[in-house]
Amino acid sequence: MVVVNIVVGLAVAFVVPLFNVYFRAGVHAHDSEIGVTFASGALLLAIAALFGPFLVARMGKIPAIISARLLGIPFVLLLAFAPDVERLSQLSLLSIAGIAFVARNVFRNVANPIASAFEMEILAPQERGTAVGASMAVFNLTFAIGGFAGAVMMNAGDFRTPFLWMAGLYLAGDLMYWFFFNKTTTVPEPRQ
């Protein structure tokens, strides 16, 4: 779990703390448009989270987690290439980036409650606090490193490369998660 969190934390860090910069400087959106986009992403994620149990019942935990997360990667790439897509379509840059932002947010994050429940199930009760603490520590450390790198790139006017790094690291983290946990069974709770 810690190794996967290093990779995913780095992926997230390249862009997530800088989404407002991307929309402001890269998409040239106004504050109100950015606010509506972010609010739409949060609202749709809240609604989508209700479908997590249905995904698990239909697919199983690991396939549900990996499928949802993998579905988010094309939208990360769409964010990277939004200006090119705008030139080829009738949609505005804000519409393309907004749709991609919301879809990435929903698909990448709808699996988080499922993953959290699964990870607690596979750990013995005495391991849970240490595992969560270690995972959060490495996630935040990589968040600092990736955030700095993404900020340097975006400050130089490069809004594509951070998303490419994000997509590649997401894919690596998802494949690692599948490899590490696909055959894992849960640890039974001790009887009291």
Q: What is the pLDDT of residue 189?
A: 53
- List the one residue out of 35, 10, 151 whose CA is nearest residue 98: 35
Alpha-carbon span 73 to 97, nearest angstrom = 14
The domain 2-181 is classified under which CATH number: 3.40.50.300, 1.20.1250.20, 3.50.90.10, 3.30.1360.120?
1.20.1250.20
**pLDDT, tens digit (0-9, with 9 covering 90-100), for 77-124:** 999 999 999 999 999 999 999 999 999 999 999 999 999 889 888 888
Mean pLDDT of 47-66: 92
Whether 187 has a pLDDT exceeding 80, the answer reads no
The string of pLDDT tens digits covering residues 138-165 is 888 888 888 999 999 999 999 999 999 9
| Band of pLDDT at residue 1, cut at 50, 70 and 90 | confident
- In the prediction, which pLDDT does 65 show? 95
* pTM, to two decimals: 0.90
Q: Are 16 and 81 in contact (CB under 8 A)?
A: no
Q: If you average pLDDT over residues 22-37, what whole number do you get?
A: 95
